[in-house]
A = this chain, B = another copy of it.
Amino acid sequence: MIAQTPPMGWNSWDCYGASVDEKTVRANADYMARNLKQYGWEYVVVDIQWYQPTASSHEYEPFADLCMDEYSRLIPTENRFPSAMEGKGFASLAEYVHSLGLKFGIHIMRGIPRQAVSKNCRIKGTDKTARQVAKTDSICCWNTDMYGVNPKKEGAREYYDSLFEMYASWGVDFVKVDDICRELPKEEEELKMISDSCRSCGREMVLSLSPGPALLEKAQLYKDYANMWRITDDFWDKWELLYNMFERAEKWCTHAGPSHWPDCDMLPVGAILQDEDPDYRCAFTQDEQITMMTLWCMVRSPLFIGGEMTKIDEFTLNLLNNSEVLEIIKHTHSAHQLFRRVTDGREQIAWFTTHENGKDYYIALFNCSEEECKIEVKIPLSGSFHVMNIWNHESFGIAEGVFASKVRPHGAELYKFERV
């Protein structure tokens, strides 16, 4: 089964927006293969508008002319992805990523290109045209590339089938579908159609939905039709966004499980926003980054590095290659918040999760205030435990009943409890 544990990888959006190119993708894949693959990082994902020749930043150019084949399908623009020449699409790039022992992913926008509708292009394998399958009242509110596809129209399913058939032929392992996750219930039938096309295309692909916030009341639908779905709007390196994630994580935590993962979004670590400023680095403090990584791991969010990896610094690398921390992503279950309270004017949060080995538990303590504070937590299990701080590898000794630790402002402490 695909996505048995939360997918881990790299995504081009945070660092390059719509402007990533083939050379950069290959360089990041190389870096991952050499330095991170052994910790479980494996997906290399090309984000939005790889079909737009003049894309150059995080902004979209309205109504731009796009690279498209005769069947209304967008294809990589050769000026940015030279190996796409001669109609090869992403086959060469995927092959290269696979050769490194990694997996290859792409981003797509829900729908059919507006220019295919304007030109009334054909749908592959049918006598239908783009005008006939386009959903007339469905557009993305932040991007002008597509119209939605109307599942009630003949040719609609065939269009999506033709897309996934092409992606399968390229060797794609992961598809992030955008403009759909929070568009429910309006676009619910289109989501189901996409999922069905994906799952019947003959190649296993992780199906990832964007953008958030996903609708909690549709949790079962996401679990049934996708492998991961964004629970927030775009996440960036701002404390307020990180702070707000605690509430979302609490609401979604019981919905995580093999093949269905609520997604806290990419980790905007290291060299992000490179299209704007090559010297820009993640604005989170180190404590905030530890808070982020701790929370993402406790709730088993998919983990996607947002920064340009070839520019990675030591702190960031250590954030991403801590085996004891990543053990949580891979081998725990049933995470949930223990409490969220204000004590002496400081907001404190504690989370708890359980290792599938039946012996270890983890408690994460978060200090959301502006001052250091001591957080005390009742261990929700009887018995005695060896306690280990797994960010700094220090032993805490034996605990029973109650446990407490100082936590820095905006910081987190993450402890493994091993039953004595």
Contacts and interface: CB of A to CB of B under 8 A. Distances in A.
Interface of A: 1, 4, 62-63, 114-115, 117-118, 120, 131, 134, 136-137, 139-144, 220, 223-224, 250, 253-254, 257-259, 333-341, 352-354, 356-359, 378, 380-383, 419
Contact of A118 (B63, B131, B357): B63
B139 A144 contact: no
Contacts of A1: 378
A354 B339 contact: no
Nearest to A331: B382
A131 to B, nearest CB: 4
Contacts of A341: 220, 224
| Number of identical protomers | 4
A1 B131 CA distance: 46
A141 B352 CA distance: 40
A114 B119 CA distance: 12
Q: Is the interface of A mostly helix, strand, loop or mixed?
A: mixed
A223 B350 CA distance: 14
Contacts of A352: 334
25 contacts: A4-B382, A63-B117, A63-B134, A63-B136, A118-B118, A136-B142, A136-B143, A137-B139, A137-B140, A139-B139, A220-B340, A250-B254, A253-B336, A254-B336, A257-B338, A258-B378, A258-B380, A333-B334, A333-B354, A334-B335, A334-B336, A334-B354, A354-B354, A356-B383, A357-B358
Given A333-B354, A358-B357, A339 B137 contact: no
A336 to B, nearest CB: 4
A182 to B, nearest CB: 15
Q: Which are the 8 A-B pairs with shortest beta-carbon distances? A: A358-B358, A334-B334, A254-B336, A118-B118, A137-B141, A63-B131, A62-B136, A257-B380
Given A62-B134, A118-B118, A220-B340, 7 more contacts: A1-B378, A62-B131, A63-B136, A136-B144, A334-B353, A358-B358, A358-B419
A315 to B, nearest CB: 33
Contacts of A419: 358
